[in-house]
A and B are shown apart, each in its own frame.
Chain A
Amino acid sequence: MTDETKTTDAFDLVTKIDDNTWEVPTDYKLGMRVPGRIFVSETLMHGLEKQTLDQVANVATLPGIQRYSMAMPDAHLGYGFPIGGVAAFDKEEGVISPGGVGFDINCGVRLIRTNLQEEDVRPHIKELMSRLFRDIPSGVGSKSRIRASDSELDDAFINGSRWAVEAGYGVEADIEHCEGSGFIEGADPAKVSDKARKRGKPQFGTLGSGNHFLEVQYVDKLYDSDVASTFGLEEGQVTIMIHCGSRGAGHQICTDHLRVLSQAVKKYGIDLPDKQLACAPAQSTEAQNYFKAMACGANYAWANRQVITHWTRGVFERFFGKDMDDLGMDLVYDVAHNVAKLEEHMIDGKKKEVYVHRKGATRAFPPGHHDVPNAYRAVGQPVLIPGSMGTASYVLHGTEAAMDISFGSACHGAGRVMSRSHAKHEFYGEDVRKSLEARGITVKATHPSVIAEEAPGVYKSSSEVVNVVHNVGIAKKVARVLPIGVAKG
């Protein structure tokens, strides 16, 4: 194996703004229109690869970028944008780029609360995880029990969560408790290819593989009990976290439109430092067609997580012999972390419409924002940060500071530090499973190598990442949840 991604000390290349903010100056790379801003602690900066800085700088060269090309504390090497990358582009003068969203359109996370306590669940966790693993398809090549018709697929592409709820997979309150009510406006299924439709049809309600998971957890610590209570969270309570995206539908939508946009770049004379940053002027037909198809992918993902939620509730209902209302299985919230959205932000004192690209970053809207559900409007939206397998996940809430600093965005997870192939050399899946078992965490996976690839040691510390977000103030800690059982592809 050739080692091409040596960790270089990034310190010489950036300017320190404060303890958790670093600037990539515009002279770092030819063509940068704005500086880069990286939100990491000194510890995390030590681990940052130079190539990640290069990717932040590459994004800064794109037309119409506003203020900064940003990277959240979980930033690591991606393709096109870095993972953890956030950038906003002027609605008229800017661009839209699939490289700023990624292939897994609207990969995201949702959190479901329960009335159960840790001690109600822990003694039964093995059996419960077996049932969840059995009822919720996961892994490469897995198929759903749902065979969607063409018109149902169209409906899901346009309406997202609402389609799933109206088809019987959930309750009305689930819709409001999703970012943007579980859909992006302007989706047009005519911009989605037959290939993407064929891939998407048999995959509603499937987790997928890689870092996707379904986790049974408990709230082990509250940082802000008032906000926690607004979110319906209390210490000792069992929660469920679902992390997955738009499956083959999203992958194909991105592949198809990337192909078109990589040619459009020549047509519009856009000079790109990385072909994966293929883009087109925001109002061009090519960019708008991508956006309409991307919205279909995003909406598919919300429908997908909604179907999984419904089946998860079913497993709990049968297992505990109570219905979902008695079990208090309400959806706390659902966030997207790979998506582009048209949003209004204050830039240099003026209200402006921008396409905010978040690739491995979470929207974090503040108290009072009209896009935050009524129930949470006084405290800001829940920001859900999943940990890696076997480590803590966090619930935070949005702040006004995020609107000033990061276009209303925060991090999305822990961030990888080790490649999958390296992980498989470093860890044995069975050993990792046993060591997690010894810590009281049951893991169900299709294959031990899946466990090795996602071993806790291949990620940055989620608490370090979340502390930076908290200290910068772009979201504030509310609760920490720890896993009891994990189902993985």
Chain B
Amino acid sequence: MPMPTKGYEYLEHTADAKFRAYGNTLEEAFQNAGVAMFNVMINTGGISDEVSEKIELTSEDLDGLLVDWLSELLYLFEVEQVVFGKFKIDGITEKDGNYSLSAIAYGESLDLSRHKFGTEVKAVTYNSLKVEEITDGWVVQVVVDT
């Protein structure tokens, strides 16, 4: 499967936003999923990395970890008022059947006079959720509620 150069692509969905994100590694696919989700709301092209947030999560399975990861980013966006554009996941590890993630999200403080938002992402759904290993890496698929 050829990977889109930007690492993610949007799929048609009537009411919500659906995307696939790719990576040579699982970590990279999760990072690209973060970029894809924020690009539903705003063009992240010009977002700087002056603010960073450290994120540590543990979930019962990989699907859950993906939902928890994106949900955490939405939470931090709303409560800490940071618009994220770049993500660095240090590692996704498995221990006793649980999956953990350690990451840093980079962005800039929300400024409504500068940041022009389109669709608001309300939440991350489990609908059509996929985390799959493919021949040359990983692909994840997510539907977010808008």
Contact = CB atoms under 8 A, between A and B. Distances in A.
A449 B118 contact: yes
Interface stretch (A114-122, A126-134, A393-401, A420-428): A420-428
A140 B120 contact: yes
Contacts of A102: 145
Contact of B16 (A79, A248, A262): A79
A49 B71 contact: no
B112 to A, nearest CB: 6
A1 B17 CA distance: 12
Contacts of A275: 63, 126-127, 129
B12 A2 contact: yes
B88 interface: no
Nearest to A83: B15
Contact of B112 (A103, A142, A209, A418): A142
A349 interface: no
A287 B18 CA distance: 28
A199 B120 contact: no
A416 B14 contact: yes
Interface string B105-125: 000001010011111101111
A46 interface: no
Contacts of A83: 15
A54 B10 CA distance: 22
A141 B115 contact: yes
A125 interface: no
A102 B15 CA distance: 13
B11 A2 contact: yes
Contacts of A140: 41, 117, 120
B9 interface: yes
B47 interface: no
Contacts of A313: none
Interface stretch (B27-35, B48-56, B73-81): B73-81
Contact of B75 (A76, A195, A422): A195
A209 B78 CA distance: 14
B82 to A, nearest CB: 11
Nearest to B111: A141
A138 to B, nearest CB: 11
A275 B41 CA distance: 25
B143 interface: yes
A479 to B, nearest CB: 28
A453 B119 contact: yes
Contact of A4 (B12, B60, B110): B12
B12 A252 contact: no
A280 to B, nearest CB: 15
B146 interface: yes
Interface string B81-117: 1000000000000000000000000000010100111
A436 to B, nearest CB: 18
Interface string B126-146: 111100000000000001011
B13 A453 contact: no
A4 B14 CA distance: 10
B120 A210 contact: yes
A450 B15 contact: no
B17 A421 contact: yes
B113 to A, nearest CB: 11
B123 A263 contact: no
Contact of B14 (A77, A252, A259, A263): A77
A210 B117 CA distance: 11
B64 interface: yes
B118 A419 contact: no
A248 B145 CA distance: 12
A254 interface: yes
A209 B117 contact: yes
B78 A248 contact: yes
Contacts of B17: 419-421
A297 interface: no
A450 B146 CA distance: 12
Given A199-B75, A419-B15, A420-B17, A103 B9 contact: no
Nearest to B15: A416
A331 B120 CA distance: 29
A2 B120 contact: no
B117 A79 contact: no
B78 A489 contact: no
B75 A1 contact: no
A278 interface: yes
Given A199-B78, A251-B123, A416-B14, 5 more contacts: A79-B143, A83-B15, A255-B123, A262-B126, A419-B14
Interface of A: 1-5, 49, 76-80, 83, 102-104, 139-142, 195, 198-199, 208-210, 248, 251-252, 254-255, 258-259, 262-263, 274-276, 278, 416-422, 424, 446-447, 449-450, 453, 489
19 contacts: A2-B9, A4-B13, A79-B16, A79-B125, A140-B41, A141-B78, A141-B112, A199-B79, A210-B120, A248-B78, A255-B124, A259-B64, A274-B127, A278-B126, A416-B14, A421-B12, A424-B118, A449-B118, A489-B120
Which 8 pairs, one residue from A and one from B, show the smallest C-beta to C-beta distance? Answer: A79-B127, A275-B126, A140-B117, A103-B123, A276-B127, A79-B125, A209-B120, A449-B118
